[in-house]
Amino acid sequence: MVECHICPRKCKVNRLAGEKGFCGAGALPKVARAALHHWEEPCISGTRGSGTVFFSHCNLRCVFCQNFKISHGGFGAEVGIEDLASIFLRLQEEGAHNINLVSATQYIPQVAASLALAREEGLSIPVVYNTNAYEDVETLSILNGLVDVYLPDLKYFHDAPAARYSGAVGYFAHASRAILEMSRQVGPPVFDADGMIRRGLIIRHLVLPGMSGEGKLVLDWIRATLPEDVYISLMWQYVPMHRAADYPEISRRVTQAEYDEVVDHAIAIGLDNGYIQEDTAADESFVPPFDLTGVAGHPDGVVDPSRRETRVMHTRSNGRAQWESEMPFAGWQDQAGRP
């Protein structure tokens, strides 16, 4: 923190003295929302929701970021180590299946301290680390033994799109090493009797317009590098938000043909475990309200139960069939291989 080197940017600013690096984060964690969230993969959201903590600031500058209010704008409230631990414990008391840390990279040392304290005080549900994958391997070692589930979004294979759309030259080199470290720490997914993940790695990939080829290369690397039982999550939820309109090539939604191309490739190369989405997932209404819910004394938000299952994600085994509205692929299975 005196010479910040938490992420690959290695800004070396003194955050304890108030200096700000690329991400804009200060010395204390800043949180924009902490509440039950129902729109993650089924093995994470379950029936009661994931205890999701949205952290402010980010070490990427994605021009299409749906959370730009907090990632770029920095909206949120600062919380101390003990306060953050209390948030984790409160979410557990509210019935959360897990604690879901969204974009916590810039606060890893503080989050680790809060997790350790919360564990001492009775936190027993799994901890999910939900990240853009632009991580430093040495920093990730701080989380070893504290994080149960890693959920990285491996966004790009080539430097050109990573630099153009996220301001991150060298993204894949850092992200791929980070994912290997995540795999080393937690291994493949382990599910309980209800199909909820207890431990393991799930690699996400957000399919972007015009970049199905990029997605296929990401999948090729996963197939060649990770264990055969690796889980993936192919997301069809891209919405051209924030500054996407300034980039004509991505100022539209992903077509069914583009998404199908990536899913078909995953099947063709033998990636047999994972999740897919339907096109209804690409909707701005799924962006949660960043209003300090669950932070600094603010009340918890109320989720309309009718909306909880709208963002459909299915686990697949082998095979492929035609799309059916709001229905799983024929021959595919519900989560954790349960028919």
CA distance 160 to 153: 18
Domains of the chain: 15-337 (3.20.20.70)
Which pLDDT score, from 0 to 100, does residue 242 have?
Answer: 83
The contacts of residue 30 (CB under 8 Å, 6+ apart) are 55, 56, 57, 74, 76, 77, 78, 79, 107
Please indicate whether residue 183 or residue 39 has the higher confidence score (pLDDT): 183
d(CA 42, CA 57): 27
pLDDT at 247 over 60: yes
pLDDT of 206-243, one tens digit each? 999 999 999 999 999 999 999 999 999 999 999 999 89
Read off the pLDDT of residues 120-166 as tens digits, 9 standing for 90 and up. Answer: 999 999 999 999 999 999 999 999 999 999 999 999 999 999 999 99
Comparing 68 with 160, the larger pLDDT belongs to 160
H helices of 64-146, where?
Answer: 68-71, 81-93, 108-120, 137-140
Mean pLDDT over the full length of the chain: 88
Q: For residues 272 and 204, give the distance between their C-alpha atoms in angstroms, rounded to a whole number.
A: 14
pLDDT at 163: 98
User: Residue 298 has what pLDDT?
Assistant: 56
Could you give the residue ranges of the DSSP H alpha helices within 27-170?
42-45, 68-71, 81-93, 108-120, 137-140, 159-166
- What is the reported pLDDT for 39? 86
Q: What is the pLDDT of residues 267-311, one digit of tens each?
A: 999 998 999 988 755 556 557 888 899 996 655 433 333 333 333
| Closest alpha carbon to 234 in 319, 162, 153, 159 | 153
Residue 327: the pLDDT is: 26
In angstroms, rounded to a whole number, what is the distance separating the alpha carbons of residues 14 and 181? 27
293 near 33, Cβ under 8 Å?
A: yes
